[in-house]
Each structure stands twice: as C-alpha cells, then as structure tokens.
C-alpha cells in the first residue's frame, strides 16, 4: 500500500489538500508550492466488487485446498486474472465512467479514488482488487503517472468500501477486515467502511481505526437517505476514531439528486457531524454516479 493518503489531510473540513500529490508523483519544477490540490475520494465503480464471480464455487475451491486462498501482495488471484475489469463494465458503463473522470479533470480535481463496494463480509478470492498495484490505471491516458506534463490528468486510486450492516457485521458475521486478510486489503490505496447500525459504528470508531496493518482510513456516513442516522454521534466515540487517524466522509450526491428530502437530510446531518467534530477530520466526496451531478470543489463547499 502506498503512503497513507489520508494522513496528510488538513485538520479542517476539506475536499482539498496540497502535499498528497507530491507523495506519489515527482513534482513539476514549475508547480507552485501553494497550488491547491483537490480530491474526490468516492467515485463509485459501476459494479460491486466481486461481480461476475460465483461465490459458492469460490468457497468450494477454498475448501478443497483446506483453507481460504491468500492473495500475495501486489498480485491478482487466478479468478481476477481470467477477468478483464474494464470488459465486465460493458461499453455503456465504461463510457459513463470515463466521462465522469474527464469531468473531474475539467473541474480541477487532481486525485480521485474509485470506490469498490462490498455489501457482504470480505471473501478472499472474490473481493480482490481488480486493479492491483502492478496493473495500469483504468484510464491510463488520463492518469498522472502515464500522461506527460503539462497535459491535464488525474491520479487514479482504488478504495475498498465495506458496508457494515447485518449481512457483513450482524450476529456472528466476520466482516473480514482482519489480520488474516492483510495481503488482500493492502492492494487497495484506501480502506473505508460505511456503518449502518449502532454496533457497526462503535466498532468502526473504536476497533477498526486502531493502529494495525488493516486499520481503516475513512468512515463514510450516509446522511441523505433518512432524517436521522441509525446511531448516535457521541463525541467520545468520534474523537477515538479521529485519534486513530481516520476521517469522516460526507458525500454531496444527496444535495444534487433532485430530491428535496435527501438534500434536507444531508444538510441537517452534515451540520451535526461538523458540530461533533468541530470541523476537524471531515472530508467531502462526491459518490456521484452521473456526470451531470459532479460539482467543482468550491461549489461543493458552498452547497
């Protein structure tokens, strides 16, 4: 995993920061030290992580071996090698995604993170990074690492987002963010969770942010879907997560969806998050699935 991209975020609520790009890309001699860097750390990948893979067959194969498959760092498993992640999207979804990336560049963003979402517990051999560290970016002709300066480009990262609910966390379910899966988790640039229950939120803040090879970077909050979160934002719990180096994510997609109720919910929820955190350790992301819903960094701040 490359240097922690979230460790250098400014302490105030922000969708931008300056030094991050310099950690991964040789700086341009003509670049200004004070030039702002803007990020969208939640660009939804069009299909769920593991789509197209038969989970039952994968489990049977694991049992025959006597243990679950272990992914070597930086290497795709056999299943991933047989599948072209861009081909799985189909022409329409791929074109839509490319248009979103081009629009983010046009709006002035320097870094994006494709969010690969898992709605169940993480299963090795199924929920592997379709773009491991040694592979090219989804759109190499738009990526900072392959496009010569001074052409416009954007750094393309990959993020694992695990939805923590009854399916992935309830009862005796093991969500999978554990030492046993470090080799798999380390192929992603960013680890994020979206808790949907009180127990899941407590675990995200108190356990999953603890210093460890698999500690999470982002706790994403679904503020738009309902008037109230399904858990309480206790100052002590939130502070523990911030002390562990995690940040809380607010996604603005609810404000541009056209639904008055979602916009109202988002504004009320964001106000509460900022009150509890004091505006520290909060990042603004898009989670936008259509190009027309994207907004520029300063427009996001003013929403």
Percent of the chain having pLDDT more than 70? Answer: 76
Per-residue pLDDT tens over the stretch 124-168 = 889 999 999 989 999 999 999 998 877 889 999 999 999 998 877
Return the CATH number at 186.
3.20.20.140
Residue 2 maps to a domain = no
User: In terms of residue numbers, what domain contains 116?
Assistant: 20-302
Residue 15 maps to a domain = no
Interaxial angle between packed helices 198-206 and 235-243, expressed in degrees from 0 to 180 and rounded to the nearest 10: 40
Structural domain total, the chain: 1
Per-residue pLDDT tens over the stretch 229-264 = 989 999 999 999 999 999 999 999 999 877 889 999
Residue 12 maps to a domain = no
- The confidence score (pLDDT) of residue 35 equals 60
Residue 9 maps to a domain = no
Residue 114 maps to a domain = yes
């Amino acid at each position: 995993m490359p240097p922690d991209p979230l460790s250098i975020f400014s302490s105030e609520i922000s969708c931008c920061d300056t030094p991050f790009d310099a950690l991964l890309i040789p700086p341009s001699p003509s670049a200004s030290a004070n030039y702002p860097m803007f990020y969208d750390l939640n660009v939804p990948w069009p299909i769920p992580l593991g789509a197209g893979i038969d989970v039952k067959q994968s489990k049977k194969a694991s049992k025959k071996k006597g243990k679950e498959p272990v992914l070597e760092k930086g290497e795709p498993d056999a299943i991933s090698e047989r599948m072209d992640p861009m081909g799985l999207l189909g022409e329409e979804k791929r074109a839509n995604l490319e248009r979103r990336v081009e629009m983010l560049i046009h709006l002035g963003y320097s870094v994006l993170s494709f969010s690969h979402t898992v709605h169940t517990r993480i299963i090795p051999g199924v929920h592997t990074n379709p773009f491991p560290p040694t592979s090219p970016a989804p759109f190499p002709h738009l990526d900072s690492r392959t496009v010569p300066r001074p052409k416009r480009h954007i750094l393309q990262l990959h993020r694992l987002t695990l939805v923590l609910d009854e399916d992935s966390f309830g009862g005796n379910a093991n969500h999978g963010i554990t030492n046993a899966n470090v080799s798999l988790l380390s192929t992603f640039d960013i680890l994020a969770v979206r808790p949907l229950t009180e127990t899941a939120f407590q675990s995200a803040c108190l356990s999953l942010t603890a210093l460890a090879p698999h500690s999470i970077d982002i706790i994403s909050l679904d503020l738009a879907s309902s008037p109230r979160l399904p858990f309480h934002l206790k100052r002590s719990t939130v502070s523990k997560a911030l002390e562990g180096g995690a940040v809380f994510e607010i996604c603005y997609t609810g404000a541009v969806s056209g639904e008055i109720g979602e916009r109202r919910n988002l504004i009320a929820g964001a106000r509460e998050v900022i009150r509890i955190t004091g505006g520290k350790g909060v990042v603004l992301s898009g989670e936008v699935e259509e190009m027309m819903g994207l907004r520029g960094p300063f427009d996001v701040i003013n929403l």
